Amino acid sequence: MLHIVATPIGDVSEISLRALEVLKNADVIICESTKEASKLLRSHGIMGKTYEVLDEHSTAHDKESLVPICAEKNVALVSDCGTPGFCDPGADLVRLCRQKNIPVKSVLGASALMGLLSLSGQRIDEFVFRGFLPAETEARARALRELTKEKRAIILMDTPYRLKKILNDMKDHFSHRRLLLTLNLSQDDEQVIEGKIDKIISEVRFEKAEFMLLIYP
């Protein structure tokens, strides 16, 4: 059986009792980084686990080789933070397991997406989750031009080192829209900034950070 276990997005105590129980009982932990996964487990007194790696560098063969493990053992899938299978390679493993009729269960937890929406102070009944924009310059520009036609709220995310890049993208394409930027949610240095892009750029304290961006409707 494969358990999809949500892990904290910041504070290590933001993990459910059920998630801790699943992690304690797992025969194998599939993770993006053994360093990050073992650090989290140690913080909750869980040690001596067997780890397998599934990350952005994993090949199709790597993913397929994990399927028999999920069929034969009690397996927990985690990401470095948040819910695995959401904008990460875990989705491929879930699909492969389902194709083989291997039970897959979700173990819910902290969500940066829901955190962002809850901080908006605005009822948002509809939104477009765009997720990660293309890294390549021309493809990124095309994607942003398409998004400027969207009237609903838009949610973007990217890797921490692209924080400044995405803010510059907003200056080029969404200078007229109000934005909400969350940085390092649930961590000691959490920062939430709302307003037009010039205000946001002037107030950001970080060169890089875990972030999500809401473009208001």
Tens digits of per-residue pLDDT, 63-88? Answer: 999 999 999 999 999 999 889 988 78
| Prediction pTM value | 0.82
Which residues does residue 157 pair with via DSSP β-bridges, in sequence order?
Answer: 132, 212
Residue 196 has pLDDT above 90, yes or no: yes
Question: What pLDDT, in 10s, does the model give residues 139-158?
Answer: 999 999 999 999 999 999 99
CA 10, distance to chain mean position in Å, is: 12
Q: Is the dihedral of CA 130, 138, 174, 190 positive or negative?
A: positive
Return the structure tokens found at 127: 């939104």
Q: Going by CATH, does the domain composed of 112-215 fall within 2.60.120.10?
A: no
7-22: average pLDDT: 93
Count other C-beta atoms under 10 Å from residue 157's C-beta. Answer: 22
Count other C-beta atoms under 10 Å from residue 107's C-beta. Answer: 22
Half-sphere exposure of 74 (CA within 13 A, CB side): 8
Confidence band of 23 (pLDDT split at 50, 70, 90): very high
Domain 2-107: which CATH number of 2.60.120.10, 3.30.360.10, 3.40.50.300, 3.40.1010.10: 3.40.1010.10
Residue 171 has pLDDT above 90, yes or no: yes
All residues at 6 or more sequence positions from 60 whose CB lies less than 8 Å from its CB, including other chains: none
Dihedral angle at the C-alpha atoms of 176, 184, 78, 49, nearest 10 degrees?
Answer: 170
Confidence band of 10 (pLDDT split at 50, 70, 90): confident
Residue 108 has pLDDT above 90, yes or no: yes
* Kind plus residue range of the DSSP H or E element containing 183: strand 179-183
> For residue 217, what pLDDT is reported?
93
Cβ(1)–Cβ(74) below 8 Å: yes
Q: Domain residues of the chain, as ranges? A: 2-107, 112-215
Indicate the pairing of strand 211-215 with strand 153-158: antiparallel
- 112-215 and 2-107 share a CATH fold: no
